[in-house]
Structure 1
Amino acid sequence: MKKKLYNNPILLVEDSPVDVDLTLRAFKTKNLTNPIQVARDGEEALSYIQKWDEGELIPVVILLDLKLPKVDGLEVLRIFKSHEHYKAIPIVVLTSSLESTDLERAYKFGVNSYIVKPVNFDNFIEVASQIELYWSVLNKPLIKNEL
């Protein structure tokens, strides 16, 4: 029997306290049903591999900033997308970077979507709503917890 993904978390990988707060407020404003886990650098994000191996719920989607301390976001993306068990987790780059090289590398490494963070809070709320609707409701993921 397949498990429903309503309780699977969304993993937010973001080092900026302001952007973490903005994202959490945007999801709260839209009454997001999935819990949010926050990794504040690339190393902490990669530590979730061991947590998932130990039975922690796999996220329905990972929201990944690119400019991270310790391990760069593109390297985090590359590692997640090359992992035998977790490469099917959808990853959405949510960044302020408009650099074409970042965009090209992200897609080369297998990102599912690349979104430039809106500066305006109302626009950010709309982006959060669309992320939650698509990745938590409409999309049918293939993740280990569901098999």
Structure 2
Amino acid sequence: MATNGETVGIILIEDDDGHATLVERNLRRAGVSNGFLRFSDGQEALDYFFGDPAAADDATGRPAPRELTNFVVLLDLKMPRVDGFEVLRRLKTSPSTAAVPVIVLTTTDDPREIARCYELGCNVYITKPVEYDAFIEAVRRLGFFLQVVKLPPGHPLSRP
């Protein structure tokens, strides 16, 4: 998956280990072989993006946020501690992350929640089918989309 000569990474913010495994495995099967970072709840993601920059360089093995250039966030809504709505709001209102593409990937198909996500600035909203085979097919199609999507030239995240 290349855009302007660079690869696009995936940041998956998903609390369900089973869903996270299925998403990563099936995106890879669809040809998305780039880096994956996974956060298991919204607070963990917010700490990564907006916490102490020195703490991001700890022993997690994750690149520091300032090292990321081209990436897409796949975001679940229903998570413990901090939900996906708050993560989306923070990402889109902060100048350092406002341009980051956010794809909401959730089981919720409530029209009010869909509208709220777009109002908060999500780029794409995808409902995860509850049925296993349909879920796998949806992720596979997302993988094909991620291989052809074009992003603006990557710029490292700025830190205040």
Query: TM-score by structure 2 length?
Result: 0.77
Question: SS where residue 6 of structure 2 aligns?
Answer: coil
Q: Which residue number in structure 2 is paired with residue 68 of structure 1?
A: 79
1:95 aligns with 2:106: yes
Contact 2:31 2:143 in 1 (8 A): no
In terms of mean alpha carbon deviation, does 96-105 or 36-45 score higher? 96-105
CA contact (8 A) 2:70 2:151 kept: no
Please give the alpha-carbon distance, in whole angstroms, between the structure 2 residues aligned to 1:65 and 1:126.
18
Tell me which residue corresponds to 1:4: 5
Secondary structure of the residue aligned to 1:34 is coil
Q: Which residue is 2:30 aligned to?
A: 30
Report 1:1-147 matches (<5 A).
4-6=5-7, 8-50=8-50, 51=56, 55-58=66-69, 60-145=71-156
Identical-residue share of aligned pairs (%): 35
Count of aligned pairs: 144
Q: Where in structure 2 are there 5+ consecutive unaligned residues?
A: 51-55, 57-62
Give 4+ residue runs of structure 1 displaced > 4 Å after superposition.
50-54
- Structure 1: stretches of 5+ with no match in the other structure: none
Give the TM-score normalised by structure 1.
0.83
* Structure 1 Cα separation of the partners of residues 98 and 138 of structure 2: 24
CA-CA distance at 1:11 after TM superposition: 0.4
**Distance of 2:146 and 2:48 partners within structure 1:** 19
Distance, in Å, in 1 between the alignment partners of 2:139 and 2:129 is 10
| Contact 1:89/1:142, CA 8 A, preserved across alignment | no
2:6 and 2:140 mapped to 1: Cα distance?
17
Bigger CA drift: 55-64 or 79-88?
Answer: 55-64
Residue deviations 1:3-53 (CA, integer Å, cap 9, x gap): 7332x4200000011111111221232232211110000011112324587
Greater CA radius of gyration, 1 or 2?
Answer: 2
